[in-house]
């Protein structure tokens, strides 16, 4: 339950980051005591770097008190297209294990490839990603994704200097981005509790390999996590089994994995939360809202609600929050994955008239 207290700030000076990066190679081969030398003195336990909140949540549940989890996406930060600070790159170097999602955050992929000295776990390989619901949408995402690169991260300065990239590297990186989104796989697997439980088992296996002495604890924690997630899955199945409407209008296309509960998703933006919707997308959504009698346009906490608010206003319906749980914010600092999913369930029931 307590992910946040165990997270350590990513504020490392350039000097200490370089020292760390140089000093850690090989540490990951040893467990416990040796590993902590390279990770900045976090005590006896292992250090795991996780790419964004749902991965941090699972890892903290499995690792418990003995594992220090460092989340590379800070609270309030939007994980799509995260840029890493020098300190965060050093955390990837120093970690005994990195848990990430390939093709979701290019900067993390790159840092894992170039800097990870310990074990790595690609969540996508474990859980099996599903394609986006329809191909046209997926193409749109890629386009929008490429378009909105220019003006991103305004007012979201990282605490440290971003890792330096030459202009040409930077350019090539961005250009490739819109087109190699692994085609059309939907990264937002964490909205499916079953897949979160599978990830929990995989994290337990990895931690047990690195730290066999605590294998029984990791396995127990994975079972406890799975039990909680099974309860959540049951609640979602029951709670959404008889609804007046199936379709939800949401800010960005993060909720496709709710289709197992009969929920159909119509996104205002595409893959990333701040992508600007086209006029024709908005017109289609307005028609859909009228035809289906949709009551609510859902926005999210980490993204600007401007598009969703104007759509709701134009169609005379209400707005509410549906949280894609890509990260915590100040507003949700006392919450966790499970409580946010329960709130999502309530919001869905209310919007879609579920009995
Ligand atoms: Zn997303």
Q: What is the DSSP string of 118-148?
A: SEEEEHHHHH-PPBPS-HHHHHHHHHHHHHT
User: What's the token pair of residue 266?
Assistant: 């119509």
Select, from the ranges 26-30, 163-167, 199-203, 267-271, the one with the highest average predicted confidence (pLDDT): 199-203
The band of 80, judged by pLDDT with boundaries at 50, 70 and 90, is confident
3-state secondary structure of 310: helix
pLDDT for res 183 = 57
pLDDT > 80? residue 44 = no
Q: Which domains are delineated in the chain?
A: 4-131+183-229 (3.40.50.1980), 240-352 (3.40.50.1980)
Spatial contact of 264 and 246, defined as CB atoms under 8 Å apart: yes
Distance 253 CA to ligand 1 centre (A): 7
pLDDT > 90? residue 43 = no
Mean pLDDT for the stretch of residues 154-176: 38
pLDDT > 50? residue 35 = no
The band of 330, judged by pLDDT with boundaries at 50, 70 and 90, is confident
Distance 327 CA to ligand 1 centre (A): 10
Distance 252 CA to ligand 1 centre (A): 7
Contacts with 177 (C-beta within 8 Å, 6 or more apart), sequence order: 81, 106, 145, 146, 149
pLDDT for res 276 = 79
Distance 286 CA to ligand 1 centre (A): 23
Distance 187 CA to ligand 1 centre (A): 7
* CA dist list (Å): 88 to 60, 64, 76, 120: 18, 22, 16, 15
Q: Please name the residue that has the structure tokens 């749109």.
A: 140
Distance 248 CA to ligand 1 centre (A): 16
**Percent above pLDDT 90 for the chain:** 60
Query: Quick one: how far is CA 108 from the chain centroid?
Result: 12
Mean pLDDT for the stretch of residues 341-347: 98
The rounded distance, in Å, linking the Cα atoms of 111 and 19 is 17
DSSP 259: G
The rounded distance, in Å, linking the Cα atoms of 41 and 99 is 20
Mean pLDDT for the stretch of residues 125-147: 63
pLDDT > 60? residue 314 = yes
pLDDT for res 262 = 97
Distance 326 CA to ligand 1 centre (A): 7
Distance 118 CA to ligand 1 centre (A): 27
Distance 186 CA to ligand 1 centre (A): 9
Torsion angle in degrees (nearest 10) through CA of 101, 168, 149, 158: 70
Distance 185 CA to ligand 1 centre (A): 12
Distance 305 CA to ligand 1 centre (A): 15
pLDDT > 80? residue 328 = yes
264: left (phi > 0), else alpha (psi -120 to 50), else beta? beta
pLDDT for res 78 = 87
The band of 331, judged by pLDDT with boundaries at 50, 70 and 90, is confident
Q: 330: buried, middle or exposed (CB in 10 Å: 19+, 13-18, 0-12)?
A: exposed
Distance 33 CA to ligand 1 centre (A): 37
User: What is this structure's pTM?
Assistant: 0.76
pLDDT > 90? residue 232 = yes
Mean pLDDT for the stretch of residues 177-195: 74
Mean pLDDT for the stretch of residues 283-291: 95
pLDDT for res 153 = 40
Distance 209 CA to ligand 1 centre (A): 31
Q: Would you tell me how many other CB atoms lie within 10 Å of the CB of residue 16?
A: 15
Distance 160 CA to ligand 1 centre (A): 24
Distance 188 CA to ligand 1 centre (A): 6
Q: 105: buried, middle or exposed (CB in 10 Å: 19+, 13-18, 0-12)?
A: buried
Alpha helices in the chain, H assignment, sequence order: 14-23, 33-38, 53-63, 86-94, 106-115, 123-127, 135-147, 167-177, 193-210, 215-239, 279-292, 306-315, 337-352
Distance 145 CA to ligand 1 centre (A): 11
Q: Would you tell me how many other CB atoms lie within 10 Å of the CB of residue 353?
A: 12
DSSP 277: P
The band of 58, judged by pLDDT with boundaries at 50, 70 and 90, is very high
pLDDT for res 25 = 36
The band of 228, judged by pLDDT with boundaries at 50, 70 and 90, is very high
Spatial contact of 185 and 130, defined as CB atoms under 8 Å apart: yes
Distance 14 CA to ligand 1 centre (A): 31
The rounded distance, in Å, linking the Cα atoms of 28 and 95 is 7
Distance 332 CA to ligand 1 centre (A): 17
The band of 134, judged by pLDDT with boundaries at 50, 70 and 90, is low
Distance 84 CA to ligand 1 centre (A): 18
**Percent above pLDDT 70 for the chain:** 73
Distance 77 CA to ligand 1 centre (A): 12
pLDDT > 80? residue 320 = yes
Distance 97 CA to ligand 1 centre (A): 24
pLDDT > 60? residue 15 = no
Average pLDDT, the chain: 80
pLDDT for res 72 = 97
Distance 290 CA to ligand 1 centre (A): 26
């Amino acid at each position: 339950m307590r992910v946040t207290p165990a997270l350590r700030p990513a504020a490392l000076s350039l000097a200490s980051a370089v020292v760390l990066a140089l000093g850690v190679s090989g540490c990951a081969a040893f467990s416990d005591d040796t590993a902590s030398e390279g990770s900045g003195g976090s005590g006896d336990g292992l250090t795991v770097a996780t790419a964004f909140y749902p991965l941090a949540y699972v890892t903290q549940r499995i690792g418990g008190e003995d594992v220090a989890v460092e989340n590379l996406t800070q609270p309030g930060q939007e994980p799509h297209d995260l840029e890493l600070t020098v300190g965060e790159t050093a955390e990837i170097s120093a970690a005994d294990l990195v848990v990430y999602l390939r093709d979701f955050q290019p900067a993390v992929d790159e840092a894992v490839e170039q800097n990870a000295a310990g074990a790595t776990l690609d969540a996508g390989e474990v859980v099996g990603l599903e394609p986006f619901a329809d191909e046209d949408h997926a193409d749109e995402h890629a386009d929008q994704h490429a378009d909105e690169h220019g003006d991103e991260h305004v007012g979201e300065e990282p605490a440290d200097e971003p890792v330096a990239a030459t202009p040409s590297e930077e350019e090539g990186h961005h250009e490739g981005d819109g087109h190699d989104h692994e085609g059309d796989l939907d990264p937002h697997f964490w909205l499916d509790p079953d897949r979160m439980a599978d990830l929990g088992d995989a994290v337990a296996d990895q931690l047990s390999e690195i730290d066999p002495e605590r294998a029984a604890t990791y396995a127990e924690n994975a079972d406890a996590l799975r039990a909680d997630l099974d309860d959540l899955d049951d609640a979602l199945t029951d709670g959404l089994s008889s609804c007046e409407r199936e379709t939800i209008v949401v800010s960005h296309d993060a909720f496709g994995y709710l289709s197992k509960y009969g929920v159909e998703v119509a996104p205002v933006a595409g893959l990333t939360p701040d992508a600007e919707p086209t006029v024709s997308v908005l017109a289609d959504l307005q028609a859909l809202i009228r035809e289906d009698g949709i009551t609510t346009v859902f926005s999210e906490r980490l993204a600007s609600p401007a598009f969703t608010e104007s759509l709701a206003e134009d169609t005379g319906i209400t707005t509410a929050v549906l949280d894609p749980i890509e990260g915590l914010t100040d507003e949700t600092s006392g919450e966790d994955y499970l409580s946010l999913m329960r709130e999502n369930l309530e919001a869905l029931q209310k919007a879609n008239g579920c009995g």
